[in-house]
Amino acid sequence: MGRYYLHFKEGHRIYYDPDGFELPGPGVAWKEAYRSAKELCEDADYDGREIADAAFVIVDEAGRQYGLVPLRDVRTAS
């Protein structure tokens, strides 16, 4: 188990996840980021907001980046 953070990047701004999640590995962290991105896309579609230039950045407790989940990719996959 390790701690993974899902930072939210929108344009040039990054909103840091202060708490993170205790998860068994980066694959599970990626699934959590994808689920969160899908939820955000659904909310944005409902509200009529544009979030094309946004993504979740998956980082572990040592600061290593494990992946990026762009919301536009999640939106087109749905």
pLDDT per position as a tens digit, 40-51: 888 766 566 667
For residue 72, name the pLDDT band (cuts at 50, 70, 90): confident
- Tally the domains of the chain: 1
User: What is the domain range of residue 27?
Assistant: 2-77
Q: Residues with Cβ < 8 Å from 20, sequence gap 6 or more? A: 3, 4, 5, 6, 61
| Helix residue spans in 1-78 (DSSP H) | 26-47, 71-77
Give the bridge partners for 67, in sequence order: 58
How many CB atoms lie under 10 A from the CB of residue 7? 18
Of the chain, the percentage scoring pLDDT greater than 90 comes to: 62
* pLDDT of 7 above 70: yes
Q: Would you say 24 and 18 are in contact if contact means Cβ atoms under 8 Å apart?
A: no
Q: Would you say 46 and 39 are in contact if contact means Cβ atoms under 8 Å apart?
A: no
Give 16-29 pLDDT, tens digit per residue.
Answer: 999 999 999 999 99
